[in-house]
Amino acid sequence: MLIAPSILNANNLNLKQEIKKAAGAGITRFHIDIMDGHFVPNLSFGPQLVSDFKREFPLIDAEIHLMSNNPKTLIPEFIKAGADVIEIHYEAMDEENLNYWLDYISSNGVKVGLVLNPTTPVQVIEKFSDQIDQLLLMTVKPGFGGQSFISSSAEKIKEAKDILKKADNKIPIEVDGGIDENTARICKNAGASIFVAGSYIFKKESISEQINKLNEVIK
């Protein structure tokens, strides 16, 4: 079980301190949302943030959630910046490109994840499951932090788990969007093992307290 805090809703002018606090509470991986203003209607971070992050925190993993349909420009830049995991969206490109970029990321020694939007049928993973290190199921429509968890996600996690099991595939299922103590419990019971949480961790009084509470639920 792993918590990967999303820094999207951290205080961006105080990012280093916020990351330090989360790391102090045992976090070993951060989830960095890359939004291009095109695939999703919002803008966030670029490769510079990732290289600064890796310079300051070389032992902590940077997980890049790429919300963009411009892989050609961005993926090589994020690899250069030191990304440890790069996750790309099924909806962002055709299957030929998807195959190409999943392999490209892996062959550069970076872990690779496939991301599915809430409306994308989970069966599409059958074609890609042996090319990926993890599967990210969006539990909100991507683009913004602070949205409500889509309750039908639990069923989808179970379906994904079944598909992977049938293929004798043990890759972890990650969830992202609207994760708090209640929804994390639901997702854990359905089969998720990596939990992205943004506003739950960074929009409250104490970052470490929030992480501790979430850890209690998912352990």
Asked if 176 is an active-site residue, the reply is yes
Look at residues 215, 164, 208, 216 and name the one whose alpha carbon lies nearest to residue 25: 208
Site for Zn ion contains 156 (CB under 5 A): no
CA distance to 38, 118, 139, 173, 176, per residue, from 165 (Å):
35, 21, 21, 12, 21
Beta carbons of 135 and 145 less than 8 angstroms apart: no
Exactly one of 33, 36, 61, 180 is catalytic; name it.
33
150: number of Cβ within 10 Å: 17
Site for ligand DX5, residues 115 to 144, rule: CB under 6 A: 140, 142-144
Question: Tokens 């919300």 identify what position?
Answer: 67
Q: Is 89 marked as binding a ligand?
A: no
Q: How far apart are CA 103 and CA 214, in angstroms?
A: 33
For ligand DX5, give the closer residue by CB, 15 or 196: 196
| Number of residues located near Zn ion, criterion CB under 5 A | 3
Q: How far apart are CA 66 and CA 75, in angstroms?
A: 8
For ligand DX5, give the closer residue by CB, 67 or 160: 67
Q: How far apart are CA 175 and CA 163, in angstroms?
A: 17
Site for Zn ion, residues 25 to 44, rule: CB under 5 A: 33
Asked if 180 is an active-site residue, the reply is no
DSSP letters of 36-93? BSSSSS-B---HHHHHHHHHH-TTSEEEEEEE-S-HHHHHHHHHHHT-SEEEEEGGGS
Site for ligand DX5 contains 113 (CB under 6 A): no
Site for Zn ion contains 89 (CB under 5 A): no
For ligand DX5, give the closer residue by CB, 53 or 144: 144
Site for ligand DX5, residues 27 to 86, rule: CB under 6 A: 31, 33, 65
Q: Is 198 marked as binding a ligand?
A: yes
Site for Zn ion contains 87 (CB under 5 A): no
Q: Is 144 marked as binding a ligand?
A: yes
CB of 201 to ligand DX5, least distance (A): 8
Question: Tokens 């440890």 identify what position?
Answer: 84
Beta carbons of 177 and 147 less than 8 angstroms apart: yes
For Zn ion, give the closer residue by CB, 36 or 176: 176
CB of 198 to ligand DX5, least distance (A): 3
Catalytic residues: 33, 176
Site of interaction with Zn ion (CB under 5 A): 33, 65, 176
Site of interaction with ligand DX5 (CB under 6 A): 6, 8-9, 31, 33, 65, 140, 142-147, 176-179, 196-200
